[in-house]
Structure 1
Amino acid sequence: MSEDKNNQAFNRESLNKEDELHGDKVEERFGNENVNQADDRFLDMSQDEVKGKNQIEEKLFKAIDDIKKNGATLEKQRNVTEFHKEWLTYSWPNYTEEKHLEMINMYEADTRYREYFGEEGSEILIVAVKHILT
């Protein structure tokens, strides 16, 4: 199997898992067309793009952990918000602050989203993004 096909199969498996967990809620909020565009974008990601997304995700988790351990500052909240934005834009074809805030509202409203970052990490993310974007 070629590297691209192998990567696409891995991306499809990841997408299917996410769709099982969150698909109905995401489609309800963002619409089927937007979800399909994001899915297509994710499926077409190269290994380098997946690596880049993973690196941003790692920075995001470290920034959240820093706030957990050392407390929040405006700069730290900006970093969390920016890393989360970058992480989202790997899958989203068109980023807007409004969509970002809608996603944060989904984290707040649905425990399935908070599982990814954990309760405390999700709360830090929610507070940071709302503080910076509103």
Structure 2
Amino acid sequence: MTSRQQKNSANSAASQNGASSTTDMDVPPLSPDSVEKIMTAIELLGTKMDTQTAALRQEIVSIHQELQTTVSSLQSANAQNTKRIDDFEQSSTEWSSTVMTLETTVKRLHPKCAVYQRNAWTWKVVAVVRIFG
């Protein structure tokens, strides 16, 4: 049992027997001057906490504004990238159509010619080759 628990136990036993405990007498009554000092300290702590709360509130508002700016920038960049993707898809479709037309034209002109593409993502005319048979 700790010393605090022992004191509490002794106080409890003493109060049950109608006697006052010895620890009750260890704390002298507060003088009016001491009470005033304690109240002043509490008020100063409250003022300091109010100041810190105001500073934290201002910092939160500042961070919120920065986040809003960042989100706006990201949304703008996203819109620009979406437009670039749409433009790329449009030009890719047009280029693909042009290559297909070229291939059809070349095959019509000479059945043994072929137009080669490099890969499925970007159409590139590598060469119009006449295949001799």
TM-score, length-scaled by structure 1:
0.24
The structure having more radius of gyration, on CA atoms, is 2
Q: Between the two structures, name the one with larger relative contact order (CA 8 Å, sep ≥ 6).
A: 1
User: Which is helix-richer, 1 or 2?
Assistant: 1
TM-score, length-scaled by structure 2:
0.24
